A and B are shown apart, each in its own frame.
Chain A
Amino acid sequence: MALALAVPGTAQDAGSGEPMGIEAVEEAYVAGEFEVARAGLVPHAEDGNVVAQYRLGYMLANGVGGPFDREGAIRWLEAAIGQGHGNGHMLLARAYLTGQPEMPDYERAAELLQVGVGNGSAEAHFYLGQLYRVGRGVEGDKERAFDLLRKAADAGVPEAQFAVAQMYSRGEGTDRDEAQAARWLLQAADAGNPDAHLSLFYNYTRGTGFPKDEAKALHYLQRAADGGMTIAERILGAGYLTGEGVEADPEKAIVYLVRAAEKGDPGAQTNLGYAYAKGVGVAQNDAVAAEWYRKAADQGLTRAALVLGEFYQAGRGVEADVAKAIEYYTIAYWGRSEVAAARLGALFLAGEIEGPEPEAAMVWVAEYARGGDADALGWLERKARLGEPYAYLRLGWLYRDGTEAIEADAAKAAEYFLGAARRGNAEAQAAVAEAYATGTGVDQDYVEAHKWANVAAASGDDAAAERRDVLAALMTPDQVAEAQERARVFLSSQ
Chain B
Amino acid sequence: MRLSVPAASIWLAVAGFVAPGLPALAQQTPFAALESAAEAGDAAAQTALAQRYETGDGVLQNYARAAGYYAAAADQGAATAQNALGTLYLRGLGVPADPARGLALLTAAAESGVPEYLHDLAVVLEQGIATPADPASAAELYRRAADLGWTESAVSLGVLYQDGIGVEKDIAKAIALYSGPAESGHARAQNNLGLIHVRGDGVPQDYAAAAEWFRRAADQGLPVAMTNLGTMYENGFGVEVNEDYAKELYRLAAEAGTAAGTVAGQFLFDARLQPPDPAAAGAYRAAAAAGDPVAQFLQGYLLADAAATSRDYRLAAGYFRAAADRGMPAAMANLGILSFQGKGVLQDYVEGYKWLTIAASLGLPGAIAIRDRLAAQMTADQINAANEAAEAAWAALAASD
Residues in chain A within 8 A of chain B (CB atoms): 454-455, 457-458, 460, 465, 468-469, 472-473, 477-478, 480-481, 484, 487-488, 491
Contact = CB atoms under 8 A, between A and B. Distances in A.
A484 B345 CA distance: 12
B8 interface: no
A454 B382 contact: no
B348 A487 contact: yes
Interface in B315-373: 342-351
A126 B296 CA distance: 54
Contact of B258 (A457, A472, A481): A472
Most buried by A among B343, B344, B345, B346: B346
A481 B382 contact: yes
B254 A473 contact: yes
B266 interface: no
Interface in B363-392: 377-379, 381-382
Query: By DSSP majority rule, is chain A's interface helix, strand, loop, or mixed?
Result: helix
Given A465-B343, A481-B378, 8 more contacts: A458-B342, A460-B314, A469-B258, A477-B382, A481-B382, A484-B349, A487-B346, A487-B347
A487 B260 CA distance: 20
Interface string B21-45: 0000000000000000000000000
Nearest to A477: B379
Interface of B: 254, 258, 260, 314, 342-351, 377-379, 381-382
B339 to A, nearest CB: 10
Contacts of B348: 484, 487-488
Contacts of A454: 342, 346-347
B254 A477 contact: no
B347 A468 contact: yes
Contacts of B379: 477-478, 481
B277 to A, nearest CB: 27
Contacts of A469: 258, 260, 342
Contacts of A480: 349, 377
A484 to B, nearest CB: 5
A494 to B, nearest CB: 11
Sorted nearest first, the 5 A-B pairs with minimum C-beta distance are: A458-B346, A481-B379, A477-B379, A454-B347, A481-B382
B256 to A, nearest CB: 12
A122 B210 CA distance: 66
Nearest to A457: B342
A491 B347 CA distance: 12
Contacts of B377: 477, 480
A473 B258 contact: yes
Contacts of B346: 454-455, 457-458, 484, 487-488, 491
21 contacts: A454-B342, A457-B342, A457-B346, A457-B347, A458-B342, A458-B346, A465-B343, A468-B342, A469-B260, A469-B342, A473-B254, A477-B377, A477-B378, A477-B379, A478-B379, A480-B377, A484-B348, A487-B347, A487-B348, A488-B346, A488-B350
A484 B343 contact: no
Most buried by A among B314, B342, B377: B342
Contacts of A484: 346-350, 382
Contacts of B344: 458, 460
A481 B347 contact: no
A488 B350 CA distance: 10
A478 to B, nearest CB: 6
Nearest to A483: B347
Contacts of A477: 377-379, 382
Contacts of A473: 254, 258
A27 B354 CA distance: 97
A454 B348 CA distance: 9
A460 B344 CA distance: 6
Nearest to A455: B346
A488 B349 CA distance: 11
A455 B342 CA distance: 9
Most buried by A among B254, B344, B346, B347: B347
A477 B382 CA distance: 10
A457 B349 CA distance: 15
Nearest to A478: B379
A105 to B, nearest CB: 31
Contacts of B260: 469
Contacts of A457: 342, 346-347
A473 B379 CA distance: 15
A81 to B, nearest CB: 43
Contacts of B343: 465
Contacts of A481: 349, 378-379, 381-382
A244 to B, nearest CB: 44
B264 to A, nearest CB: 13
A455 B345 CA distance: 9
A430 to B, nearest CB: 14
B353 to A, nearest CB: 11
Contacts of B314: 460
Nearest to B312: A460
B303 to A, nearest CB: 13
A298 B232 CA distance: 63
A358 B382 CA distance: 41
A477 B351 CA distance: 16
B399 to A, nearest CB: 21
Contacts of B381: 481
Contacts of B345: 458
B274 to A, nearest CB: 31
A465 B344 CA distance: 10
A365 to B, nearest CB: 32
A461 to B, nearest CB: 11
Nearest to A469: B260
A454 B254 CA distance: 20
Contacts of A455: 346
A98 to B, nearest CB: 36
A477 B314 CA distance: 26
Contacts of A487: 346-348
A446 to B, nearest CB: 14
A11 B303 CA distance: 70
Contacts of A465: 342-343, 347
A160 to B, nearest CB: 37
A459 to B, nearest CB: 8
